[in-house]
């Protein structure tokens, strides 16, 4: 898991290779889902040395959805399947999943977590 570590009482649920499809250069790396957070841990080589860690508490996520190829995000990640996360402040964050990453399973586990009462 590299630099990523669990917080006390937190459980690891899923991981995928993804990039945050916002800005340039985009942050690419490992997207981790835990029982408490969604975290993108950057791979600096894949992020051209400009990767920034992204993290949000699951309690802030209002909904998540999958969008198809060539929808959402920027040109660099356009071909991949995407996960769009809608937060409580009306902001959205789009993650483009690498080929071979199982977005369907990741989204299913995320939806289960955000539907559970906290």
What was the pLDDT predicted at 26?
Answer: 72
What was the pLDDT predicted at 112?
Answer: 95
- Confidence band (pLDDT; 50, 70, 90) for 76? very low
Q: Give the residues across from 4 on adjacent strands.
A: none
Q: pLDDT > 70: what percent of the chain? A: 75
Helix (H, G, I), strand (E, B) or coil at 60: helix
7-53 per-position pLDDT tens digit: 999 999 999 999 888 766 677 789 999 999 999 988 765 545 566 78
Q: pLDDT > 90: what percent of the chain? A: 52
Buried b (16+ CB within 10 A) or exposed e, 39-53: bbbbeeebbeeebee
pTM: 0.82
Helix, strand, coil shares, percent, the chain, to 5: 15, 40, 45
């Amino acid at each position: 898991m590299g630099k990523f570590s669990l917080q006390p009482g937190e459980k690891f649920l899923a991981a995928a290779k993804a990039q945050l499809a916002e800005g340039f250069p985009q942050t690419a790396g490992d997207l981790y889902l835990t029982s408490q957070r969604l975290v993108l841990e950057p791979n600096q080589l894949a992020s051209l040395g400009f990767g920034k860690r992204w993290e949000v508490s699951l309690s802030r996520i209002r909904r998540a959805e999958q969008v198809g190829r060539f929808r959402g995000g920027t040109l660099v990640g356009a071909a991949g399947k995407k996960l769009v996360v809608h937060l409580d402040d009306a902001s959205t964050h789009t993650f483009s999943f690498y080929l071979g990453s199982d977005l369907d399973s990741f989204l299913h586990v995320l939806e289960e977590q955000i539907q559970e009462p906290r």
